[in-house]
Structure 1
């Protein structure tokens, strides 16, 4: 799929394809009704959101980058696909809204930079010292934006701690598991900091690959989620 991508916007790669395939499987397996509400966080060019729109979903795409918002809007317009694209930080532009499916491909490369201070194309990968600066926020906040049978799909590297993602989502009251995995050789960014990651014990000696994983999390039948203090609350009564 040829997409308009201005400078500084993340180029769709293996993680994009892995997430899009997981989304299509989820929509098919669940027998999602026409017009199912789908939210994509960190849409970039809109590649995954466009797949959902093409499948007949009611799509909202969010990105913090003005260039990405422009790219996603133009890519949807050129294909005649209805898609609402909003600029903002994660769930801020959709406060109070709930969705049938939420998909996310957040920055997940560990490094020394403060993600909040990063500008330009590095925004697409810089994710703090452990690579979880946005991952943890998504795990915490996503449950409150999922409908009664809602599903979250998030892709990241195995180097970020798959177990940490599963534990965080389960503590939030979701049923979580890894549903896709793909081994990927390091690209330029990962190669440039392989020594730093090895010194921190994240990489084995000489390791030059990572596993990309898609974690799926579903609302449980009792509809209970955890609030910020770790106490259970019934979303149906909220």
Structure 2
């Protein structure tokens, strides 16, 4: 179930879900889904045998959608409303999943009460990504792992460098090329002007970056 104003399941969600299943990341693990939207990743982790799943979103509609979807699917998911790691500040998790907003926008001001908050992420698309990379080491257990999905326009090397600064080993564990969606198509000229895509490019590579405790 996806009410108006909640991010729909798309190719990035599918790629992250596939990586999680193929790598058996969730089985028996305490999982946190940051920016859960409809709860699709949280549900996928629960169905993959996670020991527990907590889902967080700032949007009240997303929290309601995730709660209802977890009940419809009979999955024991704990749902919290708040900003990124704020609602679970004292918790530690074996696996953190993140499909954050990552589309470059005209402004660094982030929308709070429009559908655009599902994808707008500042001029370089990294406003939320950088916060996740900075804060996730403190949310992981000693052998914890984070999986983050985003577009090539946000520069995977920057994500890996940010995770390494937090003491994590980082690598790309999944890739897929998909056509531009409506938002990326609408911003194609902006992305070209910023040098984030090639002239005429109308597809993008989506990457999943893994970060785990060094050693």
**Is the TM value for this pair above 0.5?**
yes
Where structure 2 has 5 or more consecutive residues not aligned to the other structure, the ranges are none
Alpha carbons of 1:115 and 1:42: their partners in 2 closer, same or farther (altered >3 Å)? farther
**Partner residue, 2:212:** 218
**Partner residue, 2:66:** 72
Per mean C-alpha deviation after superposition, the further-off stretch among 16-25 and 68-77 is 16-25
Query: What is the CA deviation profile of residues 63-90 of structure 1, one whole-angstrom value per residue up to 9, with x for unaligned ones?
Result: 1100000000000001111000111000
Alpha carbons of 1:53 and 1:43: their partners in 2 closer, same or farther (altered >3 Å)? same
Q: CA deviation at 1:204?
A: 1.1
Asked whether the 8 Å contact 2:42–2:55 carries over to 1, the reply is yes
Distance 1:110 1:118 in 2: 16
Query: What is the CA deviation profile of residues 46-102 of structure 1, one whole-angstrom value per residue up to 9, with x for unaligned ones?
Result: 011001112232000001100000000000001111000111000000011100000
1:84 to 75, 78, 85: 78
Question: What is the DSSP-based 3-state SS (H/G/I as helix, E as strand, rest coil) of the residue aligned with 2:3?
Answer: coil
**Partner residue, 1:196:** 190
Query: What is the CA deviation profile of residues 165-198 of structure 1, one whole-angstrom value per residue up to 9, with x for unaligned ones?
Result: 0111111111100000000111111111111111
Matched residue pairs, number?
214
Matched, 1:149 2:120: no
Distance 1:48 1:169 in 2: 21
Distance 1:56 1:187 in 2: 32
2:42 to 36, 44, 49: 49
TM-score, normalized by length of structure 1?
0.87
**Partner residue, 1:138:** 132
**Partner residue, 2:11:** 14
